[in-house]
Structures are given as C-alpha cells and as structure tokens.
Amino acid sequence: MKVYNTLTRKKEEFVPIEKGKVGIYVCGPTVYNYIHVGNARPMVVFDTLRRYFQYKGYEVKYVSNFTDIDDKIIEKAKKESIDFKEITKKYIAAYLDNSNELNFDEKDTIHPRATEYIEEMIAFVKGLEDKGIAYNVDGDVYFDITKAKDYGKLSRKNIEELQAGKRIEVSSEKKNAMDFALWKKRKEESEPAWKSPWGMGRPGWHLECSVMSQSILGDTIDIHAGGEDLQFPHHENEIAQSESLHDKDFANYWMHNSMITVDNEKMSKSKGNFFLLNDIREEYDLEVVRFWLLSVHYRKPINFSQEVMQATKNGLERIYNGKKKLIELLANAKTGELEGNLSEEIDQIVKNFEVAMDDDLNTADAITAVYDLIKFANTNLDENSSKEIIEKTLNTLNKLSDVLGILKREEKEENLDEYVEKMIQERTDARKAKDFAKADEIRDKLLEMGIKLKDTRQGVTWEKIK
C-alpha cells in the first residue's frame, strides 16, 4: 500500500516498524466547543485508513487525543464562571455523540487527555532543559529552535525568513522570535495549574501531542496524521521537540487531509459559513456526512453545499436499497452453483477497490467500485440466481462498506436495542435490591440518550423520544 508522506512530498510504500502492526496518532480536538465539518474530515479519513489496515490484516493501535487544557478552554470557563473541567466534560461527551454517528470506531480508539499526562510532560521538558535545548524565563519554558536539527523540514518553511518577518514583541522574553512555549506560567491564581520545577503552570499545546504519542505508541511511530492546517507550527514543533529529546525519528509517515470549502468558499467563522455537525444532523444522518467526506480524495479540498449533501444522501440510499434487495433475494434463494463468470466479475470489483485504496487511500475510486457492485447485482441477480452467488455479492458488499464505515444503520439499531435491554435489566435488579438511587440514575442516563422508559403492568417498555 502506498501513502503520501508530507515529510518527503512523495507517495511511498508503507512499511511498518513492526511487521503486521500499525501505530497511528491523529491530532484530536481542543474540547471547548461543538465540532464542525472541518473537524470531521480527519476523523473520517483516518478512521477509514485504520479500517483498511485492519482489512489487510494489520493490528492497529489508534490514538487520538483530547486537548483538555488550553487558553481557549480557560477563557470559556472564566466567561461562564465554571470549572474548566465542566467545559471539557461537556464537549468530550458531545464529541463522542457526533463521532458515533459518523461511524467512527470508538471502541478501538485510545483517547488520551492532556491533563492525564502532566507528569510525563514535565519530565519531557526537564529532559530538554537538561540538554540545553529548552530555557526557563521566570516560569515560562521555551524551546530554542536554533538547537533543533532541520527545523522546518516538514512544512519546508524558510525559518530565517519567518524569523525576520515575525515582529518580536517588546515584552518578549524569548531568545528567537520563533521559539515556542513548552510550559506556560500561571498568570492568575484562578487559572488551572500544576506544580513543576519552574513553578505553577501548564503545558503548551505542541508538547501535549509529543508526550501522549510517545507515552502510548513509543518514541518513533508509524503514522502521525491530522489536518493540513496543523503542519505548521504544530507538527513542526512536535518534530523539533521529540527528535531533539530522543535523537530518533518521531514519525515515519506524516499524513495530512485537505480543507473544506462551503459553496466553494473557504469555511471561516467570520464568513458565517461554519457548519457544526449538530446543525447538519438536524437534516442529514451523519453517515451521509461520512460518505460525502470519502467521496473526494483526502488530499483535495472538498466542497459542502445543500446540493452535494442531497446527492450524497441519494447515492447512499441506492447502496442501502441494493443491500436490501440482496437480503430479500437470499432469503428465497435455492442452493445451486456459483456461476464462475459472475463470481469472477465480483473478484474484479474487489480488486479495483483494493487498487484504489492501495493508492494513497483513493476512497473516491473505492466508492465507484461499491457502486459497480450494486450495478452488478441489479443487472445479474434475480429470483433464479443461486444462493451462492447472492451470498458472495452480499458478503462482498458488507466487507467493502465496512472498510468505508457505511451501511451501519441496522447494526446500530441492533446495538442500541441490546444496550437498552441490558440497562433495563440492571435497573430492575437495582430496584429489587432497593437501590433506588442507582435505578433512577439509569433511567436518567437513558433519558439523556433520548430513550424514555415506561413501567407497565407487563413490564418495562421503552421508546425513542428524539
């Protein structure tokens, strides 16, 4: 499989550090707001990369962090006069809701939170300070970029030009204009802060990702990914600090997804064309958003508009209908022979799918292969087809759509049924044990999920209220 490596600006054959295993780190959100379509793109793209690696038999360790301490979080907490943890708790829960609806594989994902790794972060900064690469100015610790080897190698920026272009603020305590903060001194008593050798303070954003990546995946990892807007300075600084500390490569492959435009204009808060997933889901299932995000190659800009979303929804329905028809045919089909020529046609479609995905995750062409499979079924299969060929078509459709993370509607309904039944049982048990607090807690939790319980004489029934 080939992937485009931003570091070398080339498509390269993917070679894992350890045979049969892949470690992926994807920069996650700063949790102070609801997520928008721009946040959804790396989630969907790299979840699909993970699924394809799994399809090829790899064992994948997938890490995506939550930045749960940051200026923006502190600002918001201050404005709302609540603890910063209230903010992060709320938006992590909202993120997980959206992510589940996007069919992002949450159960196989590790979500480290920055505040859980403060000790490791302090040790990391201490290590850089001991090597003479970081310097402390009255409680703020900076990374000296002149000490880094090849600073700017990922973004290929001319650092001297950048340095010259950046005005040094009068009050600056930095040695070089481009030096960045590893550790930030607490400015006010009320700010969240941790004890460190440099006084009370908190980690800088770039540091967080370096430390969480290293702690969970090791000093050198296979793939580090994120949106292209993170290349500079975020990823550049991650490389600088990690490679300076460990004297090892930080990541072998750097993958970046391109941006989203809205009605062919750049999406921005100031233009007011900023779409939250929570708004879109009023109109479209987020599976449609996922399918749309995969309809264009991840390194190309993708446009969001009502027309595109409607067309995507129709396309997805066509695939759902194809699957439904196959299930119906299978239910009535008789055992016969696997028609060789038809079977070969399916194999060819699978091959096309794999060729597309092997070529730097060309999901646009992979989707074409899925449509070809539906067309194949509509053209060739009917009540007289053998059970074998129908089964092969359906299994193939399930396998390919699983890689893309689509056609999950029924599976999700079943999972929900199972979950609710389990919770109802737990509630009944709690009531029998006279643990009414727990019983109420379960009822409230379900209510929050939009599930209303009704106690009837025949037992407990439930309904969806949103």
Interaction site with Zn ion (CB under 5 A)? 27, 209
Query: What gap in Å lies between CA 351 and CA 2, rounded to an integer?
Result: 16
Nearer to Zn ion among residue 209 and residue 316 (C-beta): 209
- Identify which of residues 45 and 209 has a Cβ nearer to Zn ion in the complex: 209
DSSP annotation of 186 reads: -
Q: Which two tokens stand for residue 371?
A: 């449509």
Euclidean distance between CA atoms 363 and 349, whole angstroms: 14
DSSP label of 176: S
Residue for token digits 């001194």?
185
Continuous segment of H or E residues that includes residue 252 = strand 251-257
Is 462 exposed, middle or buried (CB count within 10 Å of its CB: 0-12, 13-18, 19+)?
middle
Name the minimum Å distance from CB 30 to Zn ion. Answer: 10
C-beta of 191 vs 236, nearer to Zn ion: 236
Supply the minimum distance, in Å, between the C-beta of residue 230 and Zn ion.
Answer: 6
Nearer to Zn ion by Cβ, of 64 and 385: the residue is 64
Angle between helices 387-404 and 37-55 (to 10 degrees): 130
By C-alpha distance, which of 286, 287, 290, 298 is closest to 364? 298
Which residue number, 74 or 209, has a Cβ lying nearer to Zn ion? 209
User: Shortest Cβ distance from residue 205 to Zn ion (Å)?
Assistant: 7
As measured in angstroms, the least distance from the Cβ of 304 to Zn ion is: 24
Closer residue to Zn ion (CB): 180 or 292: 180
- Residue 202 CB, nearest approach to Zn ion (Å): 16
> DSSP assignment, residue 385?
S
Task: Specify the amino acid at residue 327.
Answer: I
Place of tokens 């070529």: 359
Nearest distance, CB of residue 212 and Zn ion, angstroms = 8
Angle CA(379)–CA(320)–CA(35) in degrees, nearest 5?
140
Do residues 255 and 230 make contact, with C-beta atoms less than 8 angstroms apart? no
User: Cβ of residue 42: shortest distance to Zn ion, in angstroms?
Assistant: 11
- Whichever of 27 and 370 has its CB closer to Zn ion, that residue is 27
Using the minimum distance from each CB to Zn ion, give the nearer residue, 31 or 356. 31
Going by the DSSP 8-state scheme, the letter that residue 110 receives in this structure is: E
Q: Minimum distance from CB of 208 to Zn ion (Å)?
A: 7
Tell me the Ramachandran region of residue 186: left when phi exceeds 0, alpha when psi lies from -120 to 50, beta otherwise.
beta
CB atoms inside a 10 Å sphere around CB 432: 9
* Least Å from the CB of residue 192 to Zn ion: 20
Q: Quick one: 27 or 73, whose CB is closer to Zn ion? A: 27
Give me the phi and psi of 242, to 5 degrees please: -70, -45
- Are 302 and 424 in contact, with CB atoms under 8 Å apart? no
